[in-house]
Structure 1
């Protein structure tokens, strides 16, 4: 036997059935105005490969590929993307009818045994008359898209970070080689001064000056080794390895060490040749993950406005249940009752709370818009700064090359004059300091130029 309950809201339900359940219109994401081209001069392009291939360094290539596979920040971003995908599926599931079942049996003892039993199915469907469910799906979709773009952005950042730390590692290696050369040069000068002093041709003050310069140069080794260790440990973390054991940890690391050792001196720092085409400022809006993620946060704010506006609309749900039995264990399957209803919620008065929440959501959307615009402008500024840096370091490198040539000539002349007693030791030491300083400056400049190329492709989000 099946009994159907009355539907007191049936008339209201039928009258609302023809109404379109349209979610509130969310503010569209505005289009940013980008300049047609960068103001700085773009470096040569034409490489149809990963941007770091422009260094032509197989060790760097291997490190970046390993880092993109094993970096823990990338792993975390992938996990957040999976979480966002699951939440999106959950929000979409709210658009479907829900169905649950329940059963209960009670047995009591006392003056007379008694029992009771009930079982049934319970369901509900929300046609989304207010548009809230649609807006929540839009919000979850924007959060998923943000997580996806942040994952791509994390890969961009990790690749550039590995390249930067590798350049620093090579720079400190070259500094140590240069320090050994400078030390050897100053030791030779100290020997000459000592011999002249022993022969009565130089004062003890000259010996002390030469020894002081040599000690000062040797003292720089500790600071270089600190920087080298920091770069190596930073590389280990970026590759998901334990700091301190990364250096001798594998055959690849041993090969990297051997190549660096064989290529000591100023040329130990890889030079950047040709990279992929950078495009223009508008390409930043399509390639920079952080810019697109900021756009997705703006879309989330717009969806949140839709959610808050839905609270001003009536909401409608259709609850239903199917109960079997007459209340006793023996009569569990003797009867069946089906109920279908409709529940309408009409917002009437809340003291202005709902509209205040809408105002807050709109203000948050304006803040998200400002952050979106700021993110793009910062990205544009990073590219422009990198272009200026590349040009400046290139010009500075040419001047330093000339300075080294002049310093080498000055040292040779002052040394020859000193041996003949026509120049003072002060002239020799001063020429040595200038040569060592120029070589160090050129080495640092080459590292800075390489880092500027890395910063450019990081800022431009060159394809990887």
Structure 2
């Protein structure tokens, strides 16, 4: 029996050794990037402490919102469900199996006097199963990064919604201050009208300005409610069920510091969307290898083991056959061509992701720096307009060379400068958030480098050359 097995397996071993494992060879994708961003000199890359960048706002409410959002957001939960799906797909493709073989069917039958076990397996000699497993593994890694990307996106939306709400609340406070100021002006005008020092037209102008201010407050209240509702949705709770106190505490959130941003090349490892595109590119590479391997012969093994009850003797049979896809070659070739085209698409998608990431960083820098400069100027404008209004009131009361219309103009100017300051402070926060998110901050790194024995994407699609490993 041992000699028979040797005679069967010896030519089988020669056949397996003579059929090389075919695969597409790619290199890690590369792209030419500048060594610095346009607005800053090359600086040290941000540390891992920058993962929790929103804490630079020193706002406990924002910290709570981020923590609850990461735990309850439904988009993140959906990404986690997709991750479980990708994990199941990877197991289905045999990621946990060793070697290139996959058992198609195993049957066992039992009668009263014997027990039969049948085996039917087909092994692609060019490693099709191994390449499909690699593709499934790469897609699983892409799903992991997709979950990280979902968290990064929700973090951005949550922080932006919160800063928008605080801006609107600040604007409402400004309008309430405007109302108090204009009521005072109306009282002064009424006194002057009684003394014959003002006209009925002056009073009507003051009343009109106060009515315009009152008309703005309901719209602002509506916008505040909409931002609050947006926060509820991002937290994964129904509108109206939010229990966290979001009342205005008198201050808009502003970052305490702006850390280093690194260089453009840092984005390749920091941005989960770029790394996800790279993993999908690697999966497309493995798909090419699998499609190419499918055009090669497969070894089909069939066997039967029979064990009679009550006897130590057993019988075994093993048949091996070579399955050559001769007639399906045109379809298999077309399928391989399609996979090569998908490799090109994946590569271009990776390049687009990189270029868009650099663009986002550059735009966020412009927004942040311009907002910082505008905020400084707005503070000066608010102070100057406040002094101008106070002086105008004094001159009106003392009978100076000034009219009531001048006082109303100063009120408008002070209100506009306060609103501009609030907007610019909101833009500072928005620019900081956009910059941190564009840099890929706000998430732990899933995996710094691909596994050394897995296929990785190439520098250009023209390198998708089928070679013998």
| TM-score, normalised relative to structure 1 | 0.84
Separation in 2, partners of 1:76, 1:21 = 41
CA deviation after TM superposition for structure 1 residue 26, in Å: 4.1
Partner residue, 1:54: 56
Partner residue, 2:71: 69
Partner residue, 2:419: 440
Separation in 1, partners of 2:307, 2:320 = 21
CA deviation after TM superposition for structure 1 residue 354, in Å: 2.3
Separation in 2, partners of 1:425, 1:8 = 113
Q: 1:290 aligns with which of 256, 273, 277?
A: 273
The unaligned stretches of length 5 or more in structure 1 are: 106-115, 326-330
Separation in 2, partners of 1:230, 1:279 = 36
Residue 179 of structure 1 pairs with residue 179 of structure 2: no
Instruction: Go from structure 1 to structure 2 and tell me whether the alpha carbon gap of 1:155 and 1:352 turns closer, same or farther (over 3 Å shift).
Output: same
Secondary structure at the aligned position of 1:352 is classed as helix
Which runs of structure 2 are paired with 1:134-283 in the superposition (5 Å)? 134-246=130-242, 249=243, 253-254=244-245, 256-257=246-247, 260-261=248-249, 264=250, 268-283=251-266
Residue 92 of structure 1 pairs with residue 92 of structure 2: no
Instruction: Go from structure 1 to structure 2 and tell me whether the alpha carbon gap of 1:9 and 1:357 turns closer, same or farther (over 3 Å shift).
Output: farther
Secondary structure at the aligned position of 1:141 is classed as helix
Which runs of structure 2 are paired with 1:309-348 in the superposition (5 Å)? 309-322=292-305, 338-348=316-326
Partner residue, 1:359: 337
Separation in 2, partners of 1:104, 1:48 = 64
Which runs of structure 2 are paired with 1:372-451 in the superposition (5 Å)? 372-419=350-397, 420=399, 422-451=401-430
Residues 302 and 365, structure 1, Cα contact 8 Å, conserved in 2 = yes
CA deviation after TM superposition for structure 1 residue 356, in Å: 2.2
CA deviation after TM superposition for structure 1 residue 102, in Å: 4.2
Instruction: Go from structure 1 to structure 2 and tell me whether the alpha carbon gap of 1:323 and 1:452 turns closer, same or farther (over 3 Å shift).
Output: same
Separation in 2, partners of 1:92, 1:406 = 69
Residues 95 and 134, structure 2, Cα contact 8 Å, conserved in 1 = no
Alignment deviations for residues 376-432 of structure 1 (CA, whole Å, 9 cap, x no partner): 111111111111111111111122122222222332333333342632332221111
Separation in 2, partners of 1:16, 1:83 = 37
Separation in 2, partners of 1:209, 1:278 = 51
Greater displacement, 309-318 / 83-92? 83-92
Instruction: Go from structure 1 to structure 2 and tell me whether the alpha carbon gap of 1:223 and 1:47 turns closer, same or farther (over 3 Å shift).
Output: farther
Separation in 2, partners of 1:415, 1:97 = 90
CA deviation after TM superposition for structure 1 residue 71, in Å: 1.9
Separation in 2, partners of 1:15, 1:41 = 63
Separation in 2, partners of 1:370, 1:17 = 37
Secondary structure at the aligned position of 1:319 is classed as strand
Separation in 2, partners of 1:57, 1:241 = 22
Instruction: Go from structure 1 to structure 2 and tell me whether the alpha carbon gap of 1:428 and 1:118 turns closer, same or farther (over 3 Å shift).
Output: farther
Instruction: Go from structure 1 to structure 2 and tell me whether the alpha carbon gap of 1:139 and 1:48 turns closer, same or farther (over 3 Å shift).
Output: closer
Separation in 1, partners of 2:113, 2:353 = 63
Residues 142 and 300, structure 1, Cα contact 8 Å, conserved in 2 = yes
Residues 70 and 76, structure 2, Cα contact 8 Å, conserved in 1 = yes
Residue 369 of structure 1 pairs with residue 347 of structure 2: yes
Residue 308 of structure 1 pairs with residue 311 of structure 2: no
Considering only CA atoms, is the larger Rg found in Structure 1 or Structure 2?
1
CA deviation after TM superposition for structure 1 residue 341, in Å: 1.5
Separation in 2, partners of 1:47, 1:303 = 33
Q: 1:101 aligns with which of 103, 107, 113?
A: 107
Instruction: Go from structure 1 to structure 2 and tell me whether the alpha carbon gap of 1:410 and 1:319 turns closer, same or farther (over 3 Å shift).
Output: same
Separation in 2, partners of 1:19, 1:140 = 27
Separation in 2, partners of 1:276, 1:89 = 42
Residues 404 and 439, structure 1, Cα contact 8 Å, conserved in 2 = yes
Separation in 2, partners of 1:104, 1:191 = 104
CA deviation after TM superposition for structure 1 residue 24, in Å: 1.9
Partner residue, 2:23: 24
| TM-score, normalised relative to structure 2 | 0.83
CA deviation after TM superposition for structure 1 residue 140, in Å: 0.3
Residues 102 and 123, structure 2, Cα contact 8 Å, conserved in 1 = no
Greater displacement, 49-58 / 270-279? 270-279
Separation in 2, partners of 1:343, 1:439 = 84
Residues 36 and 263, structure 2, Cα contact 8 Å, conserved in 1 = yes
Separation in 1, partners of 2:366, 2:324 = 62
Instruction: Please report the RMSD computed on the Cα atoms of aligned residues, expressed in angstroms.
Output: 3.1
Greater displacement, 38-47 / 166-175? 38-47
